[in-house]
Copies of this chain bind each other. A is one copy, B any other.
Amino acid sequence: MSDVQARTVGDIRSRYESFDAGNCPVRDVLGQLGDKWSTLIIGLLGERTHRFGELRRSIPDISQRMLTQTLKDLQRDGLVDRTVFATVPPSVEYKLTPLGRSLLSPLGILIEWAEMHHGAIRLARQAYESGEG
């Protein structure tokens, strides 16, 4: 692990400085993943194919506008596949593309880190507030 970490430490720096803001792959990816709903939708679609209404019910506090827009962005980036069925009433299915599925593993690792250290982060926040906040 120390080997992996030592390598990635340098990589983070070098990969940022080789690209301006517009073409930086890190910003391109984290900019999208960092928004409010993308990772949640990717997680749901990683589980199985969902219809639009299923996604909306699974994420009670998302607005219709944001669900539509986030799905469109993910589709645009080639992470999500959208299939329309010409039924009455119409139905639309969303699923991950192979590219989208390949993101599940790195994303899962980050989520594991988040859950593992969430308690420590919350404690640090409390300590900060009572001390100098």
Do B114 and A28 have beta carbons less than 8 Å apart?
Answer: yes
State how many copies of this chain the complex holds. 2
Given A10-B47, A12-B111, the answer on whether A102 and B117 have CB atoms closer than 8 Å is: yes
* Chain B residues positioned under 8 Å from A54 (CB to CB): none
Nearest B residue to A25 by beta-carbon distance?
B118
- The secondary-structure label for the interface of chain A is helix
* Chain B residues positioned under 8 Å from A44 (CB to CB): 12-13
Nearest B residue to A103 by beta-carbon distance?
B113
Do B133 and A76 have beta carbons less than 8 Å apart?
Answer: yes
* Chain B residues positioned under 8 Å from A128 (CB to CB): 75-76, 78
Contact of A105 among B4, B42, B101, B121 (CB under 8 A): B4
